[in-house]
Amino acid sequence: MSTHPPALPEYALMTHPSRLYSEVPATDWADWQWQLRHAVAAGADLAQQLGLSVHWQRSCAEALRRYPPMATPYYLSLAHSASPDDPILRQCLPHPDELHDAPDARPDPLAEEQSSPVPRLVHRYRDRALFLCCSSCAVRCRHCMRKRHWHDALPPPSAAELAAAVAYLREHREVREVLLSGGDPLTLSDDALGGILDAFAAVPQLEVLRIGTRVPVTLPQRITADLCAMLAQSPKTLWIATHFNHPWELSNEAATAADRLLKAGVPLVNQSVLLRGINDDAETLRLLFTGLLKIKIKPYYLFHGDPVAGTTHFRTGIRKGLEIMDQLRGNTSGLALPAFAIDLPDAGGKIRLEPDCAAGCDSEGAPLFRSYNGNIVPYPN
């Protein structure tokens, strides 16, 4: 059953005063490194912090072991209740359903490892490649497509690993764009991230570097003046793809982080995942997408959940996503509508899906279409 946000005025940014950390000095709270040092990573600590029952700890013991949690104090403070079904906590708390996979669920359903010609580099599409910068994240999202790496400690890339990736790209001049992913690249230090950006800036044919990050959602304090100054100096065009999933994540801190990046000349798009019990209804997504527009982040993709081991309980049917997009069509600004897409298994790539608006033909052969309000309208052929 979906968890709906409370009634709010349109485009409202939701402010979340920290009930859990009311004694923390403001200077500590605003320090991204303090947030990472105090990230909650143990089931007992989560239970104590949120007041969760002993029964919860026992029922989640195996999920905790197999998929260890991690959440910043900031992100936990966005929750509106201490219920494991809260749409914020549901994204970061272990759940026993993580142990019950559908038959098609696999650790690496998109075959990233098979598409990796050199360490850390994934080359699936002809003109784009992906580089894994690290395995660290501010929050381990329970729907993560790379849960298989949670027990790995992938540090920042070595000079040899960067050199191998750069050499491969120099030999494959068809690659015009590199996506920096992980883990989360923005959990790295400025020096480590700057070294990665500099390495790829030396590849002549690269036109765009894109950073995939959830830091504006989970650790907006990381978007510092120094970081933005470094990004602004990039000789390559930079884009950032954020990952907001629920309107409660649109805090004033997140809006400030977005504004800093935009003022540094970095455009922002958002990729959401359709998640059962979190955002699988039209009104929740309408609030999310219009709220993103308010802070100048373009909704780019709404992804159907991948068949990743440990995430089956989050997945909806494909038809559910199409129904939601159909409900949003015509009732939400076109600027606020992302593309609904699935990522085909075994490196099949992304496919955009649209609600079917064709309704046959009339007696004279003119095409008929179903409008946003359900009317059947002929169109001259």
137 marked as binding residue: yes
Is 357 annotated as catalytic? no
Of 125, 168, 300, 372, catalytic = 125
Q: Is 144 marked active-site? A: yes
d(Cα 170, Cα 282) in Å, to the nearest integer?
A: 45
Q: Which of 144, 184, 301, 315 is catalytic?
A: 144
User: What is the DSSP annotation of 109-163?
Assistant: TT-TGGG-SBTTEE--STTEEEEE--S--SS--TT-TTGGGTT----SPPHHHHH
Which residue of the set 137, 147, 286, 326 is catalytic? 137
**Residue 137 annotated to the active site:** yes
Contacts 24+ apart (CB under 8 A), 9-16: 10/287, 10/290, 11/290, 11/291, 11/293, 11/294, 12/291, 13/250, 13/251, 13/252, 13/255, 13/291, 13/294, 13/295, 14/247, 14/248, 14/250, 14/251, 15/251, 15/252, 16/77, 16/78, 16/248, 16/251
Residue of 90, 124, 142, 147 with catalytic role: 124
Omega before 194 cis (within 30°)?
no
- Indicate the burial class of 227 (C-beta count within 10 angstroms; 0-12, 13-18, 19 or more): buried
Q: Which of 108, 280, 326, 343 is catalytic?
A: 343
8 A C-beta contact, residue 46 and residue 40: yes
Instruction: Identify the residue whose tokens are 């793809």.
Output: 241
Query: What does the DSSP 8-state code read for residue 15?
Result: P
Q: What is the edge-to-edge ordering of all strands in the sheet holding 376-378?
A: 358-361, 367-370, 376-378
Looking at 86, 108, 280, 306, which residue is catalytic? 306
Task: Give catalytic status of residue 141 as yes or no.
Answer: yes
Identify whether 133 is a catalytic site residue.
no
The catalytic residue among 120, 146, 222, 315 is 146
- Is 319 one of the catalytic residues? no
Structure tokens belonging to residue 125? 């599409």
Out of 128, 176, 298, 320, the active site residue is 128
141 labeled part of a ligand binding site:
yes
Active site residue: 141, 142, 260, 286, which one?
141
- 280 catalytic, yes or no? no
Is residue 222 annotated as part of the catalytic site, yes or no? no
Q: Tell me how crowded residue 139 is: count the other CB atoms within 10 A of its CB.
A: 24
Active site residues per annotation: 124-125, 128, 137, 141, 144, 146, 306, 343, 350
Binding residues for [4Fe-4S] cluster: 137, 141, 144
Residues belonging to the binding site are: 137, 141, 144
